[in-house]
Structure 1
Amino acid sequence: MKTTQKDCKVIDTLNTLAGKWKLVILLHLEMNGTLRFSELKAKIPDISHKMLTSQLRELEKEHLIQRVIYPQIPPKVEYSISEHGKTLQPIFDLMHQWGEAHLAYMDGEAQKLG
């Protein structure tokens, strides 16, 4: 049975995870656990402060991450992947496997040319 664009949930998934940085942020939170804003920024040096803030807000809105604010001065805010966000782990695993296979394929193609 052929899936129509209307029924294709891949597009819905891509719309949720779209953006240059969302998957990178999720992957860092999955691998490292809870991180503060500055720690995330240090792990993703090419992202701007504004973009990181924006992407974190969108991920929180989608319930993929959780933000905890500690009432202290200065305020302490920590981010972690949510239980719902952890359901992305099998997708990360498949992406890792595909990435390895793709690199091996590309190496083979380069050797054919060289």
Structure 2
Amino acid sequence: MNASTKALPKLADWRKHSASLRRFLVDWREHSASLGRFLVDWREHSARLGRFLVDWREHSASLGRFLADWRKHSASLERFLADSREHSASLGCFLADCREHSASLGRFLAD
């Protein structure tokens, strides 16, 4: 065996390893590109989730203000109804007094 024939198997081994390395690098690029697309999608979904949470907090705060206003108006309505009942009772007493005075006046005029 001369030097050139000894080098051929080593050269063939090197080419085989080189081809294997090329396939590995191609696969690496594909997986890297896939990971890049995944990360872009992840950022988009994360941004959408962030906007959703901001909207949720705004609507939650708005609902909180609405409920606070509702409680105030409800309390105000309760006070109004209590006042109405008091005035209605006072009016009832006034009308009863009017009937008594009217009856009394009727008796006075009849005598």
Q: What is the TM-score when the length of structure 2 is the normalising length? A: 0.27
Q: Which has the higher strand share?
A: 1
The structure in which a higher percent of residues are helix is 2
Larger RCO, structure (CA 8 Å, separation 6 or more):
1
Structure with bigger gyration radius: 2
Q: Under a length normalisation based on structure 1, what TM-score does the superposition of the two structures give?
A: 0.27
